[in-house]
Chains A and B, each alone.
Chain A
Amino acid sequence: MLFQPINRNYHDFSIVRDKDACINCKVCIRQCAYDAHYWDESRQKVMHDNAKCVGCHRCEALCPTSALLIQKKKSEFKDNALWKPEFIKYIYKQADTGGVLLTGMGSPVGNIPVYWDKLLLDASQVTNPSIDPLREPMELKTFLGAKPVKLEFGKSKDGTPKLKTKLSPNIELNYPLMFSAMSFGSINFNLHVAMARAATELGICYNTGEGGLHKTLYQYGKNTIVQVASGRFGVHRDFLNAGAGIEIKVGQGAKPGIGGHLPGEKINEMVSVTRMVPLGSDAISPAPHHDIYSIEDLHQLIFALKEASEYRVPVSVKIAAVHNVAAIASGIVRAGADIVAIDGMRGGTGAAPGMIRDNVGIPIELALAQVDQRLRDEGIRNRASIVAAGGIRCSADVVKAIALGADACYFATAALLAVGCTLCGKCYTGKCPWGIATNDAKLAKRQNPDIAAKKMVNLVHAWGHEIEEMLGGMGLNSIESLRGNRDKLRAVGLSDTEMDILGVKHAGR
């Protein structure tokens, strides 16, 4: 024990087992992917090693006698406003290994404001009537893509008016919502099936992420956005023509400025076939697309993809929300993108260096407001739709995002929570006990695609209804009337600068 590492006992969680309730049934042993529970042969009972617990709550959720409680370890370091416990632990770990700190899921950092929580919505009182969506029509239908500056009409032979303007291809969504990019590989096939089926049933889209599209999922193409990222994994002409839209991923909110890296552990046979990379080899996506070093180069790739898909689908460009995001978005639109997707710094990920995740980028609310304003000021807002991503937690966040100027929102973490994720943030180990971020067949079968799809559908139905209620309360009967309608928002407790950036007044004004 002399050489035990300093941080052996500074673990994050403790497993509390109610000895009276525990029946030694070993469910916890079978459920834990990290071997935190084990059978002690000499004592003939189930024991546990707190140091191995990642706080995923799988055992607690499945314990048949409710004998388990997972809680934060109570041991605390002496209070220090500067040296918060996570920084102390980081140093112990890095001193032991020399490694880059690796994290999963969105940033938990608490000192960066969540502006959704500082924004309040309006409702109609007396002067204009609110609308009850249970009995009156309410329109959530959303079209993503370039819109014409004006419409021109002629007359057909029988004298009826006929549209002369040629419309750009658009993606039609029944809700202003889409499942955000999560690659096949980062999450397993069962969940890709679930997302594809849920998106189809809902009339929305899911995004393949950078991992190609498995052959059996081509049938859901009408509800699929196919993604092209710097590694170009699984990208070929069939893939580009499989979906309702093509997205160029330039950046991701959780890790702006760096590439992706699917560890060899997660590359099983099916992932290997779909990505077209060898089994067990790392799949490395470069930080930049090496064919994009400028807006002109981006234009070149956008039109390479449009040519490859014969101009049948809109092309989206996804970037992380960073400084100067408004100017960058303007360039993207001028480069010919039909959709600009902006991913805020709280967006999730399967793996990101912790320092990048927690310190690089800006919140989506500020980025979104600035991008929408900039495109309006430049008179090019109609040329592209804006999709907001990165930390959408509930339907009110969606409503606020649309009022700030989004056409639709991407959400991914919420979709994973819907199927059991507890945000333990260990996705990069490939051992997700909830069967989500794992390609281990034994773990992955914990997700039944039918049940997972149903849960995702339920979530979007619920959000859709709530959005209708909030819209109706504001006296609006169409999501179109809310888009960029910042008069429906008021701020609480924000500075003049923040309100100026968000383009909203303080509550009470």
Chain B
Amino acid sequence: MAKKITLDASGIYYRQFNEQIREAVAAGATDIVLTNVNSQRYLVGAIEGDLNFEIQGVPGQDMCSFMRGPKVRVKANAQDGVGNTMDDGTVIIEGLAGDVVGYAMRGGKIFIKGDVGYRVGIHMKAYMEKLPTIVIGGKAGDFLGEYMAGGIILLLGMFSDKPSEPIAGRSLGTGMHGGVIYVRGEVPKEQIGPGLTAQPLDESDKLVVQGIVKEYAKELGLDAKAILASDFVKIKPFSHRPYGNLYVPA
């Protein structure tokens, strides 16, 4: 089979379409363009390997769930559950994304140009060389980074369709016990979860942010300098064991 292949999603149910994708990958395709995608679910779900996908149209729920390795570019908006329990790879969304992006994500990168919904980056976790990273170009809904156990969330607030909203919704980072959330500019204090504070970046943070921003800007055709032209703050957990002293043996 040709290394490059285009699959047309017109009028095809997700189950059959995903089967076609798996068959194409099994047959050796490495560059796969999915056209006329119209909310088919689980695209590139649990697919492994050094592969490239381009998605034309709006993919459905749980895109790239359990994915390990591929680079996926979405030319439009994405729905909920992008990168659910994702293991590795890169997802680039040229529009906005819905709720629960990167739930329990363990590795890889998700770059979103626009806004995201609620509960994004919940329970992300890092381990050894795996360091999951989410960059949000727009604004985020409530509970961004809740229960976060590892990894990096970078929130820019720049390319948003919601001018009157705060950069992050309520309960930012609530219950986080690992990882770090970087925010461009300021976060209103009342949006941050209990026990957490926004602090200035140190030199090592700045290097991390610069590195991520450069890659993000390159992938989305944006100006890294303009993004980095502002100060950032960071939100880090106050303990790796936030509930360590909660209990007494009965």
Contact = CB atoms under 8 A, between A and B. Distances in A.
Contacts, number: 135
Contact of B248 (A97, A236, A426): A97
B125 interface: yes
A272 B127 CA distance: 9
A304 B246 contact: no
A348 interface: no
Contact of A291 (B18, B46, B100, B177): B100
Contacts of A240: 46, 66
A272 to B, nearest CB: 8
Interface stretch (B153-161, B181-189, B206-214, B236-244): B236-244
A290 B18 contact: no
Interface in B102-132: 103-104, 106, 119, 122-123, 125-128, 130
Interface stretch (B4-12, B142-150, B218-226): B142-150
A424 to B, nearest CB: 11
Q: Which of B46, B84, B127 has most chain A Cβ within 10 Å?
A: B46
B66 A237 contact: yes
A307 B123 contact: no
- Chain B interface size, as a band, is 35 or more
Given A281-B240, A282-B240, A303-B41, A429 B130 contact: no
Contacts of A281: 149, 177-178, 240-241
A236 B42 contact: no
A351 to B, nearest CB: 8
A272 B178 CA distance: 15
B245 interface: yes
B65 interface: yes
Q: Which of A232, A235, A428 has most chain B Cβ within 10 Å?
A: A232
A282 B248 contact: no
A428 to B, nearest CB: 7
Interface stretch (A98-106, A312-320, A484-492): A98-106
B7 to A, nearest CB: 16
Contacts of A494: none
A276 B149 contact: no
Interface string B53-76: 000000001100110100000000
Interface in A270-298: 272, 276-278, 280-282, 284, 286, 290-291
B250 A232 contact: no
B250 A354 contact: yes
B66 A308 contact: yes
Nearest to B247: A102
Nearest to A272: B127
A93 B104 CA distance: 36
A426 B250 CA distance: 9
B66 A236 contact: yes
Contact of A307 (B45, B81, B125): B45
Contacts of B80: 291
B2 to A, nearest CB: 23
B171 interface: no
Contacts of A231: 104, 123
A169 interface: no
A304 B66 contact: yes
Interface in A323-377: 353-354
B62 A300 contact: yes
Contact of A237 (B68, B81, B125): B68
A431 to B, nearest CB: 11
- Chain A interface size, as a band, is 35 or more
A383 interface: no
A99 B6 CA distance: 60
Contacts of B149: 277, 281, 284
A307 B104 contact: no
A99 B246 contact: yes
A393 B29 CA distance: 54
A100 B123 contact: no
Contact of B250 (A96, A103, A263): A103
Q: Which of A98, A101, A307 has most chain B Cβ within 10 Å?
A: A307
Contacts of A303: 41-42
B127 A99 contact: no
Nearest to A90: B250
Given A290-B119, A290-B123, A232 B85 contact: yes
B170 interface: no
Interface in B178-202: 178
Nearest to B150: A278
Interface of B: 15, 18, 22, 41-42, 45-46, 48, 61-62, 65-66, 68, 80-81, 84-85, 87, 100, 103-104, 106, 119, 122-123, 125-128, 130, 146-147, 149-150, 175, 177-178, 240-250
Enumerate the 10 nearest inter-chain pairs by beta-carbon distance, A residue then B residue, closest first. A99-B248, A232-B104, A308-B46, A102-B247, A101-B250, A276-B127, A97-B248, A354-B250, A307-B42, A237-B46
Interface of A: 86, 90, 93-94, 96-103, 230-232, 235-237, 240, 261, 263-264, 272, 276-278, 280-282, 284, 286, 290-291, 300-301, 303-304, 307-310, 353-354, 426, 428-429
Given A278-B150, A304-B84, 20 more contacts: A93-B250, A96-B248, A100-B247, A102-B248, A235-B66, A237-B66, A237-B68, A264-B244, A276-B106, A280-B240, A284-B149, A286-B147, A291-B62, A300-B61, A301-B62, A304-B62, A307-B41, A307-B42, A354-B250, A429-B249
19 contacts: A86-B250, A93-B249, A99-B245, A101-B247, A232-B104, A235-B66, A235-B104, A237-B46, A240-B46, A278-B126, A282-B240, A282-B242, A290-B100, A291-B81, A291-B103, A304-B45, A307-B65, A308-B65, A428-B249
